[in-house]
Structure 1
């Protein structure tokens, strides 16, 4: 396996996302990116509803090469876009941001666990809802298994006392 090596051509640069937008003040970022040929590529973090720090990337093929955009989003704002001209350069940037995203995600979960308020789309509430839903579906199976296990224990006890 070969190592991915960054070369002099593997660089990133600021990208003026709004330069060609018809109405920069009211642009729908996702729709505009799609109209310019960009598609979602990799996202670090659970998304704006669940994480206080997200790194989102997009890719598009242009002039026989794939280029990438990267944006850092917080629960308060987002960074300017960076244009990255190679996968190794993008992976290098993602590797640098991944520990911060992971730490923020863990901190967000801990914060949610200690909060007293219930949130409509909170991670803790979603996990609890999934557990409740799943147990409801699996409960008959679990109860039947418990009855079988108890019957086996009774049978072993009966045989050992006989």
Structure 2
């Protein structure tokens, strides 16, 4: 890679930028593998939310690479240490959770005959004392 793009990285509690450890113009999975990253954790991906975080880890800095996954594209960020990674999650997971809840609410409004919608209706009736 000539002059790789820079990505935001959380380092010792402060944001900085560093050259991307992967070539963002190539196949993401192949680049992650080639760069030594292994799947670490993911948030929001299995609920079909409009925002998800997928984290990868390796020994070399930036140790944590986080793919911020949107429906039509993704962004890459990172963290140098586990405490930095945990701070990144603490700051960003509320947005992932909000996206998931919004997606669920949208699905419920679109299809009132789902098992989840029925369960919520039954719960609401029970709370109100309606049978």
TM-score, length-scaled by structure 1: 0.53
Q: Which residue of 2 aligns with 1:67?
A: 63
Q: Does 1:103 align with 2:101?
A: no
Q: Decide whether aligned partners of structure 1 residues 114 and 9 sit closer, same or farther in structure 2, where only a CA change above 3 A counts.
A: closer
Shift of 1:15: 4.6
Shift of 1:95: 0.7
Listed as ranges, the gaps of 5+ residues in structure 1 are 1-7, 117-123, 128-162
Q: Decide whether aligned partners of structure 1 residues 11 and 53 sit closer, same or farther in structure 2, where only a CA change above 3 A counts.
A: same
Shift of 1:115: 2.1
Shift of 1:13: 3.6
Q: Which residue of 2 aligns with 1:55?
A: 53
Point out the structure with the larger helix share: 1
Q: Does 1:30 align with 2:26?
A: no
Q: Which residue of 1 aligns with 2:109?
A: 114
Distance 1:15 1:72 in 2: 17
Q: Decide whether aligned partners of structure 1 residues 71 and 14 sit closer, same or farther in structure 2, where only a CA change above 3 A counts.
A: farther
Listed as ranges, the gaps of 5+ residues in structure 2 are 1-10, 117-131
* Alignment size in residue pairs: 104
Distance 1:50 1:83 in 2: 23
Point out the structure with the larger strand share: 2
Q: Is the 8 A contact 2:51 2:70 kept in 1?
A: yes
Q: Provide the secondary structure at the position in 2 that maps to 1:46.
A: coil
Distance 2:77 2:104 in 1: 29
Q: Decide whether aligned partners of structure 1 residues 59 and 12 sit closer, same or farther in structure 2, where only a CA change above 3 A counts.
A: farther
Q: Is the 8 A contact 1:67 1:86 kept in 2?
A: yes
Q: Which residue of 2 aligns with 1:46?
A: 45
Aligned residue among 77, 83, 104 for 2:73: 77
TM-score, length-scaled by structure 2: 0.64
